[in-house]
Amino acid sequence: MEQTACILNGYYKNASVGIDAIEAILPKAQDSGLQTELHKQLDYYKEQKAQLNEQMLRNHMTPAEQGTMAKFCTEVNVKMHSIGGIDTKEIAKLMVQGTNMGIIQMTQLMNENPRISEALKRQGKEMIRREEAYIERLKPYL
């Protein structure tokens, strides 16, 4: 059960970080195509977060919310990269880097918790697949 809680919290954190990053960068995006991609991914992360919250509650777990400091760091990072303006390529690059970091963290999390159910493994692999597809959709903006 401990590994299950660890995995679900990791998946939940990935969705939370994604939401925070997109909400911080979205107002700076000028390209309508990129805005569309960011909105699609934001909707996906919100859906994932809600689903994971329900999943955890069904298992008598409480999701570990992203701390205020982590949100602050995300906002500061976006502001630092935006000094003097930020273009579409730079936004796409930041989002690809952040998404790649999420893929790495989720992969490590799954490798460190091998005794989870097959359903949780499939869930994680599907989330990673969606993250990889998002990167592919961002590549034309680089």
CATH number at residue 49: 1.20.1260.10
With beta carbons less than 8 A apart as the criterion, state whether 88 and 40 touch.
Answer: no
Within 10 angstroms of residue 78's Cβ, the number of other Cβ atoms is 20
Q: Are 33 and 141 in contact (CB under 8 A)?
A: yes
- Closest C-alpha to 138, from 50, 21, 9: 21
Mean pLDDT for the stretch of residues 39-43: 97
Residue 88 to residue 35: CA distance in whole angstroms? 10
pLDDT, position 63: 84
CB atoms within 10 A of CB 134: 21
What integer is the mean pLDDT of 93-117?
94
**What average pLDDT score do residues 110-123 get?**
94
Number of domains in the chain: 1
- Please give the structure tokens belonging to residue 62: 């409480």
Span 59-86, average pLDDT: 70
CA distance 121 to 13: 16
Q: How far is CA 63 from CA 23, 55, 58, 124, in A?
A: 21, 10, 11, 16
Instruction: Pick 123 or 61 by higher pLDDT.
Output: 123
DSSP assignment letter at 66 = P
Note down the domain range covering 106: 2-141
Angle formed by the axes of helices 88-112 and 68-82, to 10°?
150
**pTM for this structure?**
0.87
| pLDDT band at 142; cut points 50, 70, 90 | very high
